[in-house]
Structure 1
Amino acid sequence: MFVTDAYGQETAPQPDGGHGAEAPADAGHQAGTEVAHDGGHGEAGFPPFDSSTFPSQILWVAITFGLFYLFLKKVIMPRLSSILEVRETRIAEDLAQANTMKAEADAAAAAYEQELAEARANANVIGQQARDGAKVEAETARKSIEQSLEAKLAEAEDRVAKIKDAAMQDVGAIAEETASAIVSALGGKAAKADVSAAVKSVRS
């Protein structure tokens, strides 16, 4: 479609019927000279910049743009839409799952706080019961010890009284014997009844 003048001149038919063998020897030299001469002056130019080819170029640009638009509309855009829908669905599922996990975590935290409060209340009750039980046990033990001490004290007092009575009896007998010995040593004689009466009067 884009044919330069030099190529057209080189392939044009010869006046003698198109026999290349009968062409002059300097035909190639003349053609090369003409090509160089035309190229030097830029008469043909770069084909896309040739104004005579603008309509065909515009037509091909429109066809290419239309095909590219159809390709985008039929292939690229559906794929992009499906990818965006998949990502949007996945994000929505992730958000829903995150909200569910957050709700479960909040419920677990609330249950933990409630259990902790109940455990603290139970611990306080158990501690108070333990203190009350220990106080009752200590009071019972104290009373038991006091009763035991009182019984032992009464028993000791009885023993002391008996020992005192026995000792006083021994002291009376010793005093009677001593008084009788003293009276005998002084050369006198005293009846045992009189000595006993005298000792008892002194003790009383």
Structure 2
Amino acid sequence: MPQFEQIDTFVSQIFWLIVTFGALYFLMAKLALPRLTSILEERENRVSGDLEKAERLKQEAEEVLSDYQKAIADARASALAALKESADEIAAIGAKRQAEFDAQLADKTQIAEDKINAARSEAMEHIKDVAVEVAAAATGKLLGSDVTESKVSKAVDDALGGKG
């Protein structure tokens, strides 16, 4: 085996080792490593570009989100304002209707009180006439003689005036 024969082939093995190492070094330095370097640089550029793009997109998404949230808040505020305005209008209409109803009720109550007072006055007039007739009849039966209507009327007036 030539590996074990050190004296005869040692110099030629060293020579071919140096030639092979030099050729491999040259091939690696001129062909393989520049390709690997360019591939790594390209990947690094692509990754950094993607990271920058992702950061930009993230900022845009945050801006869109804040705009959306502001639009939602504005819509809620305007909806609440519209709701309050509607509630105020409804309350005003209700108050107006209540006032109209109160006025109508007061009118009807006044009319009813007037009718009641008129009926009371009419009844009082009839009561006086009835009282005079009853008193005259009762006095006539008790005394056994007819009493004049003017005397009975005066007595009833006195009695009603004294109580009233």
Q: TM (normalized to structure 1)? A: 0.66
Report the alpha carbon displacement of residue 69 of structure 1 after superposing the two structures with TM: 1.5
Q: CA deviation at 1:59?
A: 1.6
Distance 2:151 2:93 in 1: 63
Aligned to 1:9: none
CA distance in 2, matches of 1:86, 1:66: 29
How many residue pairs get aligned? The number is: 159
Distance 1:183 1:95 in 2: 125
Structure 1 stretches lacking a partner, 5+ long: 1-45
Distance (whole Å) between structure 1 residues aligned to residue 52 and residue 9 of structure 2: 61
1:78, CA displacement in angstroms?
A: 3.0
Q: How far is 1:192 from its partner?
A: 3.3
- Could you tell me how far 1:77 is from its partner in structure 2? 1.4
> Which residue matches 1:195?
152
TM-score, length-scaled by structure 2: 0.79
The alignment status of 1:110 with 2:66, answered yes or no, reads yes
Q: Which amino acid aligns with 1:47?
A: P
* Percent of aligned pairs sharing the same letter: 33
- 1:47 paired to 2:2: yes
Residues 1-204 of structure 1 aligned to structure 2 (within 5 Å): 46-48=1-3, 49-185=5-141, 186-204=143-161
Which blocks of at least 5 consecutive residues in structure 2 are unaligned?
Answer: none
**Aligned to 1:47, what secondary structure does the other structure show?**
coil
Larger Rg: 1
The Cα shift of 1:193 comes to 4.1
CA RMSD of aligned residues (A): 2.4
Q: Deviations over 1:174-202 (max 9, x none)?
A: 11211221232122223334433443343
